[in-house]
Chain A
Amino acid sequence: MDKIRNLADLRELKDKLQSKTKLRDKSETPEQMVQIKVAMATCCIASGSRETMNYIVDELDKRNIDAVVTQTGCMGYCYAEPTVEVILPGKEPMVFGYVDSRKADEIIEKYIKGGMLVEGIIPVNYKKID
């Protein structure tokens, strides 16, 4: 088998990143960070959640927002895919539906940065009484 491209240039990348990650070690305390869960089941993928997730990961990095982005399974809102759950520190989780890249941009700018609610929230219509 031919190896077309080897991994030698990873060393350079490693040195560059090691100094950078020292600044980012806050990820030890995820409850103090913005948490974003992108639903990534069959229904979500078919509706474009892969593109949404990559857009969110890239944009958060570009805009210097510290956040944890993870995948989750189907949330049961298959009619409104792609769905994204956003948990701001100390706040109730918020689920947004029909999140394409334009909607994701709005969520990042208005909700995550500004704390303002945007349209497209999937309401939680009941709560258990403890």
Chain B
Amino acid sequence: MKDISYHILDIVRNSLNAGARMVEIHILEYSQTGQLVLKIKDNGSGMKEEMINKVTDPFFTTSVKKKVGLGLPLLKQNAELTGGRFSIESAVQKGTLVEAVFNLHHIDMIPIGDLALTFRTLIASSPDTDFLYRYRVDDCGFDLDTAEIRMRLEGVSLNTREVLDYVTDAIHANLKALKGWK
């Protein structure tokens, strides 16, 4: 994967396949340690322990159409290439938490990419799932919660171009303000 935004789209797909109704995506940057922490947390069906141990094996997949499953192994590889870490926790019927730690200043660090477009794609294809998108740089940051947006829209589907444009603009504006403050 070329950048972190693609990884997010890819890993969240696992959550949706596991029947998650709520997916939290956290990107936390720490300027002191130069680290970026990516967390993806869902309330899907979860996994048993023996499966957790197998998911980072590229030749393990739950799909019957193909023989490889590269999403998690590629994320793990990209995190570890920067000297970072990768971990996964899961409980059956509770959900799963995937966490990847990247070292931002490492030469092999991939770009963050177009987060707004990833988020837009997620909402457009799963308008009834709740997504919480949290971005922090040290103590500053913003949250974007589609449950809150849905409540305020009072029945209008999130899957309309005007709403998607609104969300994209909001993320762009917030990211710009956040990066400008640093």
Q: Interface of A with B (CB < 8 Å)? A: 1-5, 7, 10-11, 13-14, 16-18, 20-21, 38, 40-43, 45-46, 50-51, 53-54, 57-58, 61, 69-71, 73-76, 78
B-side interface mostly: helix
Report if A21-B160 is in contact (Cβ < 8 Å); known contacts: A50-B118, A75-B65: yes
Contact A50 B141 (CB under 8 A): no
- Let me know if B154 is at the binding interface, CB within 8 A: yes
Question: How far apart sit A53 and B170, CA to CA, in the bound complex (Å)?
Answer: 21
Q: State the majority secondary structure of interface residues on A.
A: helix
Q: Which residues of A contact B153 (CB under 8 A)?
A: 10, 13-14, 17
What does the 1/0 interface line of B142-155 toward A look like (CB < 8 Å)? 11000011001111
Cβ contacts A to B, 22 pairs, < 8 Å? A1-B143, A4-B177, A7-B148, A10-B153, A13-B162, A14-B156, A17-B162, A18-B154, A18-B155, A21-B157, A40-B13, A40-B121, A41-B10, A42-B10, A42-B69, A42-B74, A45-B1, A46-B1, A50-B117, A51-B117, A54-B121, A74-B66
Question: What B residues does A38 contact at CB under 8 A?
Answer: 125
- What's the minimum C-beta distance from A41 to chain B, rounded to whole angstroms? 7
A7 — nearest CB in chain B belongs to which residue? B152
Q: Say yes or no: A45-B6 contact (C-beta < 8 A), given A4-B174, A75-B65.
A: yes
Known pairs A1-B139, A3-B142, A18-B156; A13 contacts B65 (CB<8 A): no
What is the bound-complex CA distance between A2 and B138, given in angstroms?
12
A57 to B70 Cα, complex, angstroms: 27
Residue in B2, B6, B125, B149 with the greatest tally of chain A CB atoms within 10 Å: B125
Q: Contact: A4 with B142, CB < 8 Å?
A: yes
Q: Which residues of B contact A7 (CB under 8 A)?
A: 148-149, 152
